[in-house]
Amino acid sequence: MSALAALLSVDWGTTSLRVYLLTADGGVLDEREAPLGIMNIAGGAFAAALHDACRPWLERHGPLPALLSGMIGSRQGWIEAPYLPCPVALDELGRHLTPITVPDFGPIRVAPGVTARDRDGVPDVMRGEECQIVGALALMAIDGGTFLLPGTHSKTVTVAQGRIIGFHTCMTGELFAALRTHTILGRLMGAASGDGSGFARGVDAARGLQGAGQLLHAIFAARTLRLFDELAEDEAADYLSGLLIGAELGGIAAGDGELILIGSADLADRYRRAARRLGIATRDAPAACVRAGHLALATQAGLVRR
Amino acid sequence: MSALAALLSVDWGTTSLRVYLLTADGGVLDEREAPLGIMNIAGGAFAAALHDACRPWLERHGPLPALLSGMIGSRQGWIEAPYLPCPVALDELGRHLTPITVPDFGPIRVAPGVTARDRDGVPDVMRGEECQIVGALALMAIDGGTFLLPGTHSKTVTVAQGRIIGFHTCMTGELFAALRTHTILGRLMGAASGDGSGFARGVDAARGLQGAGQLLHAIFAARTLRLFDELAEDEAADYLSGLLIGAELGGIAAGDGELILIGSADLADRYRRAARRLGIATRDAPAACVRAGHLALATQAGLVRR
């Protein structure tokens, strides 16, 4: 039975669409990826895009249920799946899925996002990462920890006893890209093809930063060190990367316990190296957290029977 | 005698060229401005651009001396005018001018830039601001203070007994522009046409920031507050501006005495408002610091006789 197709796991973000054909015990029968993120879908043609991505599987296996997460559930996506406020028990997510009906598919459900408020009442949001957390807990057989999901908008998430207690976003990835591509820092910066020494220097420079304003100054070193030939052209981008990741991790260093990294291999590797340099213990979540999260929510919602 | 043309004061930066026709006591007989910054001059045609800008004055007054400052003296400019290292007595600047010869002009001199090293040995640079400092001291009849020159690359400069002791650059202006134009923060951000309440909120949000990494998080509020309609569309850009300027000033708050603001009226006004909110006393330098600095250096170098 377990080799039968049971669920379409759909990770649908701003820039890409990834679909997995899963068995009821999480095996991957097939997978497809397309650069069809929500920003690239014209005229709201989301149903057609999903149909195109899954067509051979639907033809072969009939109408399958689908679990969607990511920016597809945002106001700019297919349908707005409301946010659940923190603290939120992770099994509540499966009770708050937003339904969509599309011919040829079984039941389609969109995962909710999660919101948090900091002590000043400023809101924060995640959408998609909550499924990765659900999957990580399931795959690692744990019910809590501090998770870091690197990315364009990096998330640090505190989970205890199966509840997301709180989280905060850092714009580390997007800030790096904007500084490199759209400021003077990029002018003297070559491809990041060096030996990684620039990354380590950047992390070390972040260690000494005290206040928020110092970051506004520290990033300028990616230019001045180049002006004085004190940083190689192929290390400058890595220096800036190390500085920003180090600054982000510096805010976490006070926490206790190990940091669980969830994310793409290359980016997680940068965070792992920076954390080691800053004396922060890390542990890697398995690679397949998103689809494990989709399967857990779909099972909980009765779309899949194990 | 004092109404006679005595000096061409040339403020030549990355994006614009400003020339003033000065008398020996600093009076402005005429002025011109063109969008002919060093990035807009093709094929190194700096002499032709300066000639075009000053032609009517040269025809009327004959060969006049010229004092140039700004990015025109950088490696990407007309001629590289070497940096002087901090601490540097301001009257040393006038002894280290770099000469250029151009037909129809009198002696042309380019002001040197200034470098500093922080306690970790990381270099910093200024080019052009040193002339504004010289001018501010002359016009205000003082020999020291803490100066802040807002801009794309904001500079905070410590001067004592006529010497630049040290300074540091914050990329506040360029970071604001990059975040607004090239990240997701700009998507929900309208023109900054509100009542200024967003700016005050941004400054207040900066006040609570502890570490460098917190800035990576805090800027995201310019999006999340908009997502939840807790910040008006026409206040969002001002919120981000207040946050960044507040973060920059937060690093200065520990200093004692008043902060002397040198710069364009609108930008200096933002810094003044933010400083007041953070309890930092400010004082405005006169508007004409650059040309007063040029006149002081030219006089010291014997190009102008008073």
Instruction: Write the DSSP string, A255-303.
Output: S-SPEEE-S-HHHHHHHHHHHHHTT--EEEPPTTHHHHHHHHHHHHTTS
Q: pLDDT above 70 covers what percent of chain B? A: 98
Closest partner residue to A171 (CB to CB) among B153, B210, B220 is: B220
**Contacts (Cβ under 8 Å, ≥6 apart) of A125:** A83, A113, A114, A115, A169, B224, B227
CA distance A76 to chain B (A): 11
Q: Going edge to edge, which strands form the sheet with A17-23?
A: A28-34, A17-23, A5-12, A66-69, A108-110, A98-100
- Convert the pLDDT of each residue in A191-217 to its tens digit: 888 888 999 999 999 998 988 889 999
Would you call B46 helix, strand, or coil by DSSP?
helix
Which ranges of chain A would DSSP assign to H, the alpha helix? 46-61, 90-93, 129-140, 172-182, 197-207, 212-218, 221-227, 236-250, 265-277, 289-300
User: In this structure, what are the phi and psi dihedrals at residue B82, rounded to the nearest 5 degrees?
Assistant: -55, 150
| Contacts A250 to B, Cβ<8 Å | 211-213
Domains of chain B: 5-127+291-300 (3.30.420.300)
- Convert the pLDDT of each residue in B208-257 to its tens digit: 898 888 999 999 999 999 999 999 999 999 999 999 999 999 987 545 67
Closest by CA to A209, choosing from B82, B80, B170, is B170
Where chain B has pLDDT below 70, the residues are 1-2, 253-256
B39 in A contact zone (CB under 8 Å) = no
Neighbours of A301 (CB within 10 A): 18
Please give the distance of CA B215 from its chain centroid, rounded to a whole number. 24
pLDDT for position B254: 46
Token reading at A220 = 């300028």
The sign one gets for the Cα dihedral B76, B82, B88, B92 is: negative
Angle between helices A236-250 and A197-207 (to 10 degrees): 40
* Residue with token string 């006679």: B4
Token reading at B217 = 């998080």
* DSSP annotation of A91: H
The helix (H) or strand (E) run that includes residue B7 is strand B5-12
- Convert the pLDDT of each residue in A11-57 to its tens digit: 999 889 999 999 999 999 999 999 999 989 999 999 999 999 999 99
Length, in residues, of chain B: 306
pLDDT for position B256: 62
Q: Going edge to edge, which strands form the sheet with A114-117?
A: A84-85, A114-117, A123-126
Name the closest residue on chain B to residue A14, using Cα atoms: B184
pLDDT for position B92: 95
- Cross-chain residue pair A182–B184, CB shorter than 8 Å: no
pLDDT for position B194: 81
Q: ipTM higher than 0.95?
A: no
Closest partner residue to B251 (CB to CB) among A123, A208, A213 is: A213
Average pLDDT, chain A: 94
